[in-house]
Chains A and B, each alone.
Chain A
Amino acid sequence: MILLPKNAKIIGQGLTGSEGRICLPTMLQYGTKVVAGVTPGKGGQEVFGVPIFNSVKEAIETVGEVHASLQFVPPLFVLAATLEAIEAGIKFILIGAEKVPVKDAAQIISLARENGTTIVGPSSVGLINPGRSLKIGGIGGSEPERVYARGEVAVISKSGGMTSEISLHLKNNSLGVSFALGIGGERLVGSDFADWLIALEKDPETRASVIFGELGGTYEERVAECVRTGKIKKPVIAFIAGEFASTLPSGIQFGHAGAIIEAGRGDPKEKRRILKEAGVLVAEKFDDIAGLVKEALANNINLA
């Protein structure tokens, strides 16, 4: 997984659409370098001073190498857009669209593995890095500083809304965020909790991480495994939602596409148990998260 540097150059695929137009000024205002947009057939236009090109290749030929692509592309076009970006040599792609078919996600993940590409999403709310003035995606809206204070805690979440809710909770408790990211609530995601927690081991700004997990899948379990085997050493605080679903029949999807208990997998109680056993600090109540973060920071003074 790539941790983007300060002043990373970003292009927006589908930037001329309504979501792109809402999102772009909030990114520029935050200091993020959006250097080009790509929409087939709209080349030559400008949106908020950002030049639009017909293809990713054309954009790169003009503006030079870019670090990442942010997609504002409808779900059934995400695979093609991702393929185009990968072929043009882009190594970091953030996919915002929800409802991308699982088959397409599987192909994207396979392409990314072959090409060493970092994929965030599908259905990622974005990434924010207050220390580097980086805001990629809708995350934080137009006033990100009201929620995301600069600090030393990473927030990684399956839910966009809860990324902001946790960061706000940290801010209200005099803590701040080094890096916040929505991995998306899909069945198959380009990068999961553990991928990022492992990458953040090398991030000097991050001293502890909070993960927001929920019922379904096995991404939380993988965190436990990586903590147990020592791949993740910085403290992790976990909050796992969806316990009420355990009392209902399995096979029901709750909100996110991946939030489903099936084939005996995905019970949130089980996730909590496995995380606890591995030494992850599990918050029983949401409002307990900040206390556990403070505890972890106090116990890990030497890690920074």
Chain B
Amino acid sequence: MILYEHEGKDLLKSAGINVPRGELLKSEKDKTSISFPLVLKAQVLSGKRADRGGIVMVENKDSLQESLKKVFNLKTFGEPVKAVLAEEKIPYTKSFYLSFSYDTNFRSAVLSWSPEGGTGVEDRKVNIVPFDIKKIAFPKDLPFPVEILESIVKIFLENDCLLLEINPLVSFFDYDGKEKWVALDAKISLDDTASGRHKNWQYSERSGTRVSEREIAAKKIDEGDYRGTAGSSFVDLDGDIAVLASGGGASLVAMDTLLSLGGKPANYTEYSGNPPREKVLRLTEIVLSKPNLKGLWIIGAVANFTDIYETLSGVIEGIRSIEKKTGKKFDFPIIIRRGGPREKEAFSMLKEVKDLNIKFSGREISIAESAKIVMEETRKYDNSL
């Protein structure tokens, strides 16, 4: 889960990291007690906010309402602006990019930093310093005080962050002549798999750029239930062939193959790890909830331990449940290619289903051959309409 800037800053603040004084405004009519000049920052999950007009400097009270209205009505993010952070403006002398994350090259946590903060950091050289989270030690020659790094890495670890990025982290000399460090931004991504040990993660539903109702519903299936997985990955696509794939790898192979043949999938999703039939049932309902579908492709590898009878029973029950809810029968082609434990029972069960247009096969054909059948059958169906 990605946190909004203001949520990330709350975490930083709670660990003693300075952030600018700020107020969260929920509508364009909200007043603020932050003194001018101030900065308005759209609270959205998408990046490049500055380039897209999401960060606006307000010099005085007279221009506040107009600027606020402008930011709330921005359409450049692909997601609505539901909140704006008003913050005091911090004059600074030094600015850095700083982040903590995990890196596949080192297979460890890394500190990334650049001597120049602000937008466009992807185009600048970033120094990457791997470190062992069991005994944290940083090189001595970094341009930040060690206490700052230690506080930030503590937040990173205690909150199971996948990414904690501060861009920019700035410093200036305060009245007392001491250098003061302030995080002007915060981008935090939490590791959802750790949610079971963070009962305090009570963040509202993310309505980010790409998140659809179906995606939110699909993600709920796995919540609090470790038995296999179903729907945790779900992406709405423009096409008309519903896809119910099994396995992370096989689902990718299936999508690549279908697209290479000119097929148009209506979604990406997968279930795997021997989920119970109820999970597959619910995912089937979501996959079939799109209007004007021309087919359903149930595709997976020869499973190692997923119970094929249970999971395919879940699919059929999902189809029945939608039929009951809508009062309509599915007449489009349903192409199944699957194998693995209890496949014989699964195939006898499918044989008994006479009122659906099911074509099933097992390991005798490949995923690619199954994709070809999907193309032929959906074309036939399309022509018959």
- Contact flag A101-B133 (CB < 8 Å), given A106-B108, A214-B248: no
> Does A120 sit within 8 A of B, measured CB to CB?
no
Q: Quick check: B108 and A109 within 8 Å, CB to CB? A: yes
> Does B253 sit within 8 A of A, measured CB to CB?
yes
Closest Cβ of chain B: how far from A284's Cβ, in Å?
10
> Does A161 sit within 8 A of B, measured CB to CB?
yes
- Contact flag A103-B104 (CB < 8 Å), given A75-B226, A159-B247, A159-B248: no
Q: Quick check: A254 and B248 within 8 Å, CB to CB? A: yes
Closest Cβ of chain A: how far from B299's Cβ, in Å?
10
Q: Quick check: A161 and B193 within 8 Å, CB to CB? A: no
Q: Out of B191, B194, B250, B255, name the residue touching A161 (CB < 8 Å).
A: B250
Q: Quick check: A98 and B229 within 8 Å, CB to CB? A: yes
> Does B326 sit within 8 A of A, measured CB to CB?
no
From residue 192 to 215 of chain B, which have CB atoms closer than 8 A to chain A?
Answer: 193-194, 196-197, 209-210
From residue 1 to 41 of chain A, which have CB atoms closer than 8 A to chain B?
Answer: 19, 22-23
Closest Cβ of chain B: how far from A75's Cβ, in Å?
6
Tell which of B30-38, B266-274, B287-295, B353-361 binds the partner: B266-274
Q: Quick check: B133 and A110 within 8 Å, CB to CB? A: yes
Q: Out of B107, B194, B251, name the residue touching A255 (CB < 8 Å).
A: B251
Q: Quick check: B133 and A107 within 8 Å, CB to CB? A: yes
- Contact flag A215-B105 (CB < 8 Å), given A101-B193, A255-B272: no
Tell which of A62-70, A87-95, A135-143, A198-206 binds the partner: A135-143
From residue 233 to 273 of chain B, which have CB atoms closer than 8 A to chain A?
Answer: 233, 235, 246-253, 255-257, 259, 268, 270, 272-273
> Does B54 sit within 8 A of A, measured CB to CB?
no
Q: How far is the CA of A107 from the CA of B251 in the complex (A)?
A: 30
Q: Quick check: B301 and A242 within 8 Å, CB to CB? A: no
Q: Quick check: A162 and B193 within 8 Å, CB to CB? A: no
From residue 137 to 177 of chain A, which have CB atoms closer than 8 A to chain B?
Answer: 138-142, 146-147, 157-165, 168-169
Q: Quick check: A241 and B209 within 8 Å, CB to CB? A: no
From residue 101 to 122 of chain B, which have CB atoms closer than 8 A to chain A?
Answer: 102, 104-105, 107-109, 122
Tell which of A49-57, A226-234, A243-251, A295-303 binds the partner: A243-251
B: number of interface residues (CB 8 Å): 53
Kindly list chain A residues whose C-beta atoms are within 8 Å of the C-beta of B209.
249
Residue in chain A with minimal CB distance to B112? A263
> Does B134 sit within 8 A of A, measured CB to CB?
yes
Kindly list chain B residues whose C-beta atoms are within 8 Å of the C-beta of A76.
194, 196-197
- Contact flag A241-B253 (CB < 8 Å), given A164-B301, A218-B105, A219-B104: yes
Q: Out of A147, A241, A287, name the residue touching B249 (CB < 8 Å).
A: A241
Kindly list chain B residues whose C-beta atoms are within 8 Å of the C-beta of A259.
248, 252
> Does A187 sit within 8 A of B, measured CB to CB?
yes
Q: Quick check: B301 and A161 within 8 Å, CB to CB? A: yes
> Does A102 sit within 8 A of B, measured CB to CB?
yes
Q: How far is the CA of A99 from the CA of B191 in the complex (A)?
A: 10
Q: Quick check: B305 and A255 within 8 Å, CB to CB? A: no
Kindly list chain A residues whose C-beta atoms are within 8 Å of the C-beta of B259.
244
Tell which of B16-24, B137-145, B362-370 binds the partner: B362-370
Kindly list chain A residues whose C-beta atoms are within 8 Å of the C-beta of B303.
141, 161, 164
> Does B302 sit within 8 A of A, measured CB to CB?
yes
> Does B53 sit within 8 A of A, measured CB to CB?
no
- Contact flag A244-B255 (CB < 8 Å), given A106-B133, A110-B108, A161-B304: yes
- Contact flag A141-B250 (CB < 8 Å), given A102-B162, A106-B109, A243-B256: no
Q: Mark B131-157, 1 if CB is under 8 A from A, else 0.
A: 011100000000000000000000001
Closest Cβ of chain B: how far from A159's Cβ, in Å?
2
- Contact flag A244-B134 (CB < 8 Å), given A98-B273, A165-B301: no
Q: Quick check: B304 and A185 within 8 Å, CB to CB? A: no
Residues of A that sit less than 8 Å from B by CB: 19, 22-23, 74-76, 98-103, 106-107, 109-111, 125-126, 138-142, 146-147, 157-165, 168-169, 185, 187-189, 192, 212, 214-215, 217-219, 222, 241-245, 248-249, 252-259, 263-265, 285-287
